[in-house]
């Protein structure tokens, strides 16, 4: 377990009823069906869920990086340090992106420019957001590469992305993201493409840097193990909605939504015995093209009753600081 | 003891880098180096390791999708290297493969039914009715409804496509299925369904699996024995429970420690190993893991450690944790004085030409 300090009271990011749609030729996909959550200063929040649950769309909606042609945030607010990001001009948003909110993605190769050296790209990020001179910015780039424990930073500052391994590129991305000391770092599956020993190094690095700089981290992942080892609080998403929110300890000890329970039980675990059949979640994820009546998990849920297919459950506290969107959460939490 | 279903002896694959017509010395990628193991009927042997460790190359060599530089692959005692096209076809019936990506390994223009009966039609003529009966039967075996046979892959979910890949592999009643990262691209809830299917099939049909994966949780769940590979070589091969309870090779230890566990109460120490996997084009001398190994001693920089059998039935290649017996040691040292580290590799083969494993006393 990595260090977890106590959660401060200052709210850094306050997302309310965020709703994002994708438009197809004849259909509308309700990728985010109105989600609300907060990230506090210096906190590490994990966002988990399976493909298509809306976790990456959440990040892109916050950063206003959705594809302009076929996606739109149609409702809600994204309050960051008191300002609604959805109301800012493109220019104001560009000043926040990379400066106060930074991001890293799964595949660093697609987010690094292949024709510039890594040092120059980090320096450019510094120069855009500060009035540092070119040589100061390059010095900062070297310092950042040292900070992310890049091997041989003096040489690597002049390397091109293709000359680096996947782990080194992800270190370079983190160096670039943190160069302007952002308040919030959004990391979308930052270690999914990496080998386990490199993943352990990068996760350790993100947590260490967070401790040192006080940056809040929103870590998007499909891996419950990664969440357990790095996050303080967890948001579980299913079919474009938040189904559960809790501290990492509460979530793993007492999952209160049947989907969270099913997800945890379907991961192989030596404590439950090898070579055994794993508990399955029956059925498949619903299509978000049709409006969903009631709870979106009801057709797959072992707890479902009449009300579940009629009324959408509201996210409510099951115990202090532990919320679930389930009509029977109070029973589920003990099951 | 009966013959194993599959025996692999000193399998080696070097790929030349670039064309070598004008260049004198072509650099070689040492993808697989002196790998030996066997698989018994009905058993699951897992191969784990990180990118570039050679695990997928081993799969390709077993299927003879690539020709080995050295070494042998024997199925029921028959060396597949010497087989002509016709005989190879017969052998391939016994070994089938399931791939990682259910999106790119299915022909998008064929229906589900055509995809899973295509292998059979390579060997026998089927009437339309026979083909449909076969398809329905196979679909049921993998937990899909027979009506699905008329669907195209694009109309199926990722989990259903992977079931189709498994149905295709089952169509020839193989004794061995090689599953190369077969559940890696799937969401955990779908992964659980596919793992259950594989366990069921093994129980019902006695199929042996070579299960290649980077996911240690999955490997621990399905494996009977596990081979850990690092930079082209097996560094430890052990019964599954023993390996996870008590890893002997420092790399196995690091790999297990690095895997994230969904338990926030677990105390995690520092990141288990520093550094990255070196290039297989120019691997380090001696033990390939020595630049990252906390236990490395002088000898590790010079000699490649042989796989040494331990009391609990595992083999480990580590000078520190599993030193070879004294006579072999003297033999190596004597030669190491006069030869460089690389040639010490050949020396091991002299000692035990069959398996590359140093026998105890």
Q: Per the CB < 8 Å rule, is B257 touching A262?
A: no
Answer yes or no: do A36 and A120 share one domain.
yes
Residue in chain B lying closest to A164 (CA): B276
Q: Same domain, yes or no, for A208 and A307? A: no
Q: How many domains does chain A have?
A: 2
Q: Is residue B76 part of a domain?
A: yes
Q: Do A228 and B261 touch (CB under 8 A)?
A: yes
**Cβ distance of A280 and B189 shorter than 8 Å:** yes
CB contact B88 to A (< 8 Å): no
* Same domain as A180, residue A79: yes
Is A275 domain-assigned?
no
pLDDT in tens, B309-319: 998 899 999 99
Kindly state whether residue B297 falls inside one of the protein's structural domains: no
**Residues of B whose CB is below 8 A from A280:** 189, 192-193, 196
Touching check for B254 and chain A: CB below 8 Å? yes
Binning pLDDT at 50, 70 and 90, where does residue B326 land?
very low
- CA A12 from centre of chain: 15
Residue from A200, A239, A302 whose CB has the most chain B CBs within 10 Å, to mutate: A200
Q: What is the pLDDT of residue B21?
A: 62
Helix (H) or strand (E) holding A234: strand A233-238
> Could you tell me the residue range of the domain that residue A114 belongs to?
11-44+57-231
* pLDDT at A105 (0 to 100): 87
Q: Does some domain include residue B328?
A: no
Is residue A65 located within the same domain as residue A134? yes
HEC profile of chain B: CCCCCEEEEEEEEEEECCCCCCCCCCCEEEEEEEEEEEECCCCEEEEECCCCCCHHHHHHHHCCCCCCCEEEEEECCEEHHHCCHHHHHHHHHHEEEECCCCCCCCCCCCCHHHHHHHHHHCCCCCCHHHHHHHHHHHHHHCCCCHHHHHCCHHHCCHHHHHHHHHHHHHCCCCCEEEEECCCCCCCHHHHHHHHHHHHHHHHHHCCEEEEEECCHHHHHHHCCEEEEEECCEEEEEEEHHHHHHCCCCHHHHHHHHHCCCCCCCCCCCCCCCCCCCCCCCCCCCCCCCHHHCCCCCHHHHHCCCCEEECCCCCEECECCCECCCHHHHHHHHHHHHHCCHHHHHHHHHHHCCCCCECCCC
**Do A171 and A182 touch, CB atoms closer than 8 A?**
no
Domain with residue B140: its CATH number is 3.40.50.300
Q: Are residues A301 and A157 in the same domain?
A: no
Size of interface A-B (CB pairs under 8 A): 128
- Give all strands of the β-sheet with B44-48 in edge-to-edge order: B95-98, B176-180, B208-213, B44-48, B225-230, B233-239, B315-316, B308-309
| pLDDT tens digits, one per residue of B34-91 | 999 999 999 999 999 988 899 999 999 998 889 999 999 999 888 988 788 888 888 8
Measured torsion, CA atoms of residues B290, B292, B298, B300, in degrees rounded to the nearest 10:
-10
A173: in domain: yes
Q: What is the mean pLDDT of each run of 10 residues along chain A (335 residues)?
A: 48 96 92 96 95 93 94 96 94 93 87 93 92 93 91 91 90 92 94 88 90 94 93 97 97 97 91 86 88 93 95 96 96 87
Can you say how many angstroms the Cα of residue A49 is from the centroid of all Cα atoms in its chain? 10
Residue A299 within a domain: yes
A96, A85 contact by CB (below 8 A): yes
Contact B221 A224 (CB under 8 A): no
Q: Does B214 touch chain A (CB under 8 A)?
A: yes
Structure token digits, residue A103: 């991001």
Kindly state whether B77 is in contact with chain A, defined as any CB-CB distance less than 8 angstroms.
no
- Chain A CA closest to residue B202: A275
Q: Dihedral angle at the C-alpha atoms of B317, B320, B324, B330, nearest 10 degrees?
A: 130
Shortest Cα–Cα distance, B2 to chain A (Å): 25
Do residues A197 and A289 both lie within one domain? no
Same domain, A154 and A212: yes
User: Who among A223, A224, A280 is closest to B193 (CB)?
Assistant: A280
Contact B96, B174 (CB under 8 A): yes
Residue A218 inside a domain? The answer is yes
Distant-in-sequence contacts of A78-83, Cβ < 8 A, 24+ apart: A78/A13, A78/A14, A78/A15, A78/A16, A78/A18, A79/A13, A79/A14, A79/A15, A79/A16, A80/A12, A80/A13, A80/A14, A80/A184, A81/A12, A81/A183
B263 Cβ under 8 Å from any chain A Cβ: yes
Cβ contacts of A262 on chain B, cutoff 8 Å: 189
* pLDDT at residue number B331: 41
CA distance B77 to A88: 72
* Interface predicted TM-score (ipTM) of this complex, two decimals: 0.86
The verdict on A191 and A262 lying in the same domain is no
Task: Evaluate whether residue B238 is within a structural domain.
Answer: no
Q: Which two tokens stand for residue A321?
A: 């600081």
B118 close to A (CB below 8 A): no
Contact (CB<8Å) A196/B258: yes
Collect all residues of chain B within an 8 Å Cβ-Cβ radius of residue A279. Answer: 192
Cα-Cα-Cα-Cα dihedral sign, residues B152, B153, B157, B162: positive
Total domains in chain B come to 1
DSSP letters along A282-328, please? Answer: -S-PPPSSSPPPS-TTGGG-TT--GGGGTSPPPPEEEETTEEE--TT
CA distance B277 to chain A (A): 9
**B276/chain A closest Cα distance in angstroms:** 7
Name chain A contacts of B51, Cβ cutoff 8 Å: 195
Q: Using CA atoms, how far apart are residues A225 and A116, in angstroms rounded to an integer? A: 35
**Domain of residue B196, residue span:** 6-17+27-230
How close A276 comes to chain B (CA, Å)? 8
Quick check: B352 and B37 in contact, CB under 8 A? no
Domain check: are A27 and A147 in the same one? yes
Q: Can you give the pLDDT at residue A186?
A: 96
pLDDT for residue B277: 84
Contact A52/A223 with Cβ under 8 angstroms? no
Q: How far apart are CA A302 and CA A265, in angstroms?
A: 14
Q: Does residue B325 form part of some domain?
A: no
pLDDT digits (tens, 9 = 90+) for B61-72: 998 889 999 999
Please judge whether A203 and B51 are an interchain contact, meaning their C-beta atoms are less than 8 angstroms apart.
Answer: no
A36 in reach of chain B (CB within 8 A): no
Residue B15 φ/ψ, nearest 5 degrees: -105, 130
* B217 in contact with chain A, both atoms CB, cutoff 8 A: yes
* 8 Å CB contact of A268 and B218: yes
What pLDDT is attached to residue B77? Answer: 87
d(CA A298, CA A230): 31
Asked whether residue A111 is domain-assigned, the answer is: yes
* Cross-chain residue pair A229–B259, CB shorter than 8 Å: no
B50 touching chain A per CB within 8 A: yes
CATH for A158: 3.40.50.300
In a domain, B170, yes or no: yes
Categorize the per-residue pLDDT at B186 as very low, low, confident or very high, splitting at 50, 70 and 90.
confident
Does A226 contact B200 at a Cβ distance shorter than 8 Å?
no
Q: Are B213 and B229 in contact (CB under 8 A)?
A: no
Confidence of residue B245 (pLDDT cuts 50, 70, 90): very high
A186 domain-assigned: yes
- Same domain for A212 and A253, yes or no, is no
Is some CB atom of chain B closer than 8 A to the CB atom of A79? no
Q: Is the CB of B260 less than 8 angstroms away from the CB of A229?
A: yes
- Contact between chains at B264 and A165 (C-beta distance less than 8 A): no
Same domain, residue pair A191 and A326: no
Same-domain pairing of A146 and A251: no
Set of chain A residues whose Cβ sits within 8 Å of the Cβ of B241: 274
A193 touching B (Cβ < 8 Å): no
């Amino acid at each position: 377990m990595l260090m977890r300090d106590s959660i401060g009271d200052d709210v850094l990011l306050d997302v309310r009823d965020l709703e994002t749609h994708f438009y197809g030729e004849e259909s509308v996909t309700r990728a985010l069906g109105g989600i609300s959550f907060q990230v506090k200063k210096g906190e590490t929040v994990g966002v988990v869920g399976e493909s298509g649950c809306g976790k990456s769309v959440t990040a892109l909606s916050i950063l206003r990086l959705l594809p302009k042609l076929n996606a739109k945030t149609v409702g809600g607010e994204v309050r960051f340090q008191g300002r609604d990001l959805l109301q800012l001009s493109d220019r104001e948003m560009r000043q926040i992106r990379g400066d106060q909110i930074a991001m890293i993605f799964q595949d660093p190769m697609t987010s690094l420019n292949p024709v510039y050296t890594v040092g120059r790209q980090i320096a450019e990020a510094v120069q855009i957001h500060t009035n540092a001179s070119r040589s100061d910015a390059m010095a900062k780039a070297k310092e950042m590469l040292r900070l992310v424990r890049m091997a041989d930073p003096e040489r690597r500052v002049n390397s091109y992305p293709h000359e680096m391994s996947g782990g080194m590129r992800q270190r370079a991305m983190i160096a670039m993201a943190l160069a302007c000391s952002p308040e919030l770092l959004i990391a979308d599956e930052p270690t999914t493409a990496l080998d386990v020993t490199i993943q352990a190094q990068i996760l350790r690095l993100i947590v260490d840097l967070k401790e040192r700089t006080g940056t809040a981290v929103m870590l998007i992942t499909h891996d419950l193990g990664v969440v357990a080892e790095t996050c303080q609080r967890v948001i579980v998403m299913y079919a474009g909605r938040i189904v559960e929110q809790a501290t990492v300890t509460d979530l793993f000890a007492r999952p209160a939504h049947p989907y969270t329970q099913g997800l945890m039980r379907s991961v192989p675990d030596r404590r439950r015995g090898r070579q055994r059949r794993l508990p399955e979640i029956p059925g498949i994820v619903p299509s978000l093209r049709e409006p969903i009546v009631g709870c979106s998990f009801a057709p797959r849920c072992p707890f479902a009753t009449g009300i579940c297919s009629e009324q959408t459950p509201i996210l409510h506290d099951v115990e202090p600081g532990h919320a679930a969107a389930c009509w029977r959460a109070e029973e589920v939490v003990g099951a | 003891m009966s013959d194993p279903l599959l025996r692999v002896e000193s399998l080696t694959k070097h790929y030349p880098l670039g064309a070598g017509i004008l260049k004198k010395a072509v650099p070689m990628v040492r993808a697989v180096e002196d790998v030996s193991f066997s698989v018994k009927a009905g058993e699951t042997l897992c191969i784990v390791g990180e990118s570039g460790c050679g695990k997928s190359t081993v799969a390709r060599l077993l299927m003879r999708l690539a020709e080995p530089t050295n070494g042998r692959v024997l199925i029921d005692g028959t060396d597949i290297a010497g087989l002509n096209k016709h005989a190879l076809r017969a052998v391939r019936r016994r070994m089938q493969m399931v791939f990682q990506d259910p999106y790119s390994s299915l022909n998008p223009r064929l229906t589900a039914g055509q995809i899973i009966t295509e292998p059979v039609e390579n060997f026998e003529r089927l009437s339309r009715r026979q083909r449909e009966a076969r398809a329905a039967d196979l679909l049921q075996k993998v937990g899909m409804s027979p009506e699905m046979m008329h669907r195209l892959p694009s109309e199926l979910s990722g989990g259903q496509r992977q079931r189709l890949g498994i149905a295709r592999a089952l169509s020839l009643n193989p004794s061995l299925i090689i599953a190369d990262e077969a559940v890696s691209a799937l969401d955990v809830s779908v992964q659980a369904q596919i793992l259950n299917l594989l366990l069921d099939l093994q129980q019902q049909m006695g199929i042996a699996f070579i299960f290649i994966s980077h996911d240690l949780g999955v490997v621990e769940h399905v494996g009977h024995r596990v081979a850990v590979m690092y930079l082209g070589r097996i560094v430890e091969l052990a019964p599954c429970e023993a390996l996870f309870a008590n890893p002997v090779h420092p790399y196995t230890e690091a790999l297990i420690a690095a895997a994230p566990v969904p338990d926030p109460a677990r105390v995690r120490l520092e990141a288990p190993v520093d550094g990255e996997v070196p290039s297989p084009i120019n691997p380090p001398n001696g033990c390939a893991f020595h630049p990252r190994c906390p236990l490395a001693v002088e000898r590790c920089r010079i000699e490649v450690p042989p796989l040494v059998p331990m009391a609990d039935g595992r083999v480990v290649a580590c000078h520190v944790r599993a030193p070879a017996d004294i006579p072999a040691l003297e033999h190596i040292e004597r030669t190491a004085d006069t030869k460089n580290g690389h040639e010490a590799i050949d020396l091991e083969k002299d000692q035990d030409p069959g398996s590359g494993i140093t026998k105890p006393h």
